[in-house]
Amino acid sequence: MKSVKSKISVIRSFRIASQILFFIILPALYISTFSGIKEIYQSIIHQNFNLTELLPQIVEVIAIIPITILFGRFFCGWMCAFGTMGDFIYMLSLKLFKRKFKIGERTDRALKFSKYILLLFLIVVVWGLGVNTFSSSNPWDAFGMLLTIGKTPDLSFVFSNLMPALLILVFIVVSSFFVERFFCRYLCPLGAIFTIVSKLRITSILKPKAKCGNCRICTNRCPMGISLYKKDASKSGECINCFECVSACPRKNVSAVILESDLKPVLAGTMAVAVMAGVYYGGSLSVNPSVKSPTTSQIVASTPSNKLYNDGTYTGTGTGYRGATTVSVIVKADKITAVNIISYNDDKQFFNKAYPTVINSIVSKQTTDVNTVSGATYSSIGIKQAVANALGKAKLSPDVKNTSTVESTIKYQNL
């Protein structure tokens, strides 16, 4: 029995360490990946797919989806901030209530279809038709504002702008006390995508029933509610590769395999996470090297325009994800010739994703009426507002003010 406890300690310790690390350094991987899938989908249906322009916004997709197809949902079990939140809430529940709450297999199977319905709704209604009615209902927005490590929770902003999202987040948190991985099982649209694509993976859980007793420990320990006791082998798309079943089996009858060869769970998990992180960081640097120095970003315009502005350099301020964004706008020969970022308070990951695309669009189109960057919407809005504020000081004509000023009402499409 000592060997089993040791095995539990090693596997779980490595996984928890990975979860904590990514919760701190890359909490936005979940929403960035989902936003990248949205960008790919919308560019295809609008017939404007351009890989060069799209690449900075889909780095997370490139880093995570291929590994998921090959090896399963390591991202969900080892890296996802939302999943980590759910795990720690349930661990707290076990400490408080001294029992593990169970949900019936039939009910569990039925509820798991909810995430596919939600995904279909987002694809058809929100992404396809562009309906923004639910834009303040994304629980990730409230999660990011309240639970990002090292950032002061912005309660006033959440209460003022994200009340539906906050209520949904509270519902998820409360439910996670009673159902392990509640969000992952029943509500996660990215999880629905992962469940589908991971069915093609080359890894599986092997568990010969002939060698099993009647304990069902492997099934009881599965955080995703997979009925392992019924199978000799499982390649369920619901599996998040936590390897709790491998650790828990007192007969050592459960094993992880790749192409029918034994798989070392700790090594597999560490390698999968390292590859995803490596591709993500490498891709981010290669597709956007200017991210290292956003305060010196300058883009020259070549589009002619009618007389609109006085020449000069103007400073403007807007409200981003976590506070003020300040820019300087250079107007020369009646054109916006450059936009420099002076300061910002947003999370670096979001801001660095937004500013090159937004500034490039503003200068090339000579207007602040440009699209936001999916997954960095608030940062995009802050930049647009700051540029519009600076242009207002360039003594715009009344007609231009009507077309250049960013809407005062925040509108976003993070989902």
Q: What's the longest Cα–Cα distance across the chain?
A: 83
d(CA 288, CA 353) in angstroms, rounded, equals 9
Domain boundary pick from 255, 287, 319: 287
49 and 112 inside one domain = yes
Q: pTM of this prediction?
A: 0.76
Can you give the pLDDT at residue 404? Answer: 40
314 and 384 inside one domain = yes
| Percent of the chain topping pLDDT 70 | 85
Residue 292, pLDDT > 70, answer no
d(CA 292, CA 299) in angstroms, rounded, equals 16
**Cα angle vertex 372, ends 334, 275, to 5°?**
125
187 and 326 inside one domain = no
333 and 389 inside one domain = yes
* CATH number of the domain within which 330 lies: 3.90.1010.20
Asked if residues 288 and 352 have their Cβ atoms less than 8 Å apart, the reply is yes
283 and 358 inside one domain = no
* pLDDT digits 0-9 by tens, 209-237: 888 888 889 999 999 999 999 889 899 99
d(CA 343, CA 370) in angstroms, rounded, equals 21
37 and 126 inside one domain = yes
Do you know the residue count of the chain? Answer: 415
Can you give the pLDDT at residue 9? Answer: 63
* pLDDT digits 0-9 by tens, 100-159: 888 889 999 999 999 999 999 999 998 888 887 887 888 988 888 787 776 777 788 788
The closest alpha carbon to 388, from 306, 318, 300, 295, belongs to 318
Does 258 fall in a domain?
A: no
Residue 41: give the domain boundaries.
2-134+178-200+264-287
* pLDDT digits 0-9 by tens, 340-395: 888 888 877 778 777 888 888 888 888 888 777 766 777 888 888 888 888 888 76
pLDDT class for 43, splitting at 50, 70, 90? confident
Structural domains counted in the chain: 2
Pinpoint the alpha helices (H) of 259-347.
265-287
Conformational region of residue 87, where left means phi above 0, alpha means psi within -120 to 50, and beta covers everything else: alpha
Q: Which position has the higher pLDDT, 372 or 330? A: 330
What is the residue type of 159? F
* pLDDT digits 0-9 by tens, 312-322: 888 888 887 77
* pLDDT digits 0-9 by tens, 67-86: 999 999 999 999 999 999 99
**Cα angle vertex 350, ends 347, 355, to 5°?**
115
d(CA 277, CA 310) in angstroms, rounded, equals 47
Does 246 fall in a domain?
A: no
64 and 87 inside one domain = yes
Does 211 fall in a domain?
A: no
72 and 194 inside one domain = yes
Can you give the pLDDT at residue 53? Answer: 73
For residue 350, what is the enclosing H or E element?
helix 348-365
d(CA 287, CA 54) in angstroms, rounded, equals 10
Question: Hey, is 329 helix, strand or coil?
Answer: strand
List CB contacts of 276: < 8 A, sequence separation 6 or more. Answer: 63, 64, 67, 74, 75, 79
Can you give the pLDDT at residue 150? Answer: 67
What is the residue type of 408? S
Question: Hey, is 317 helix, strand or coil?
Answer: strand
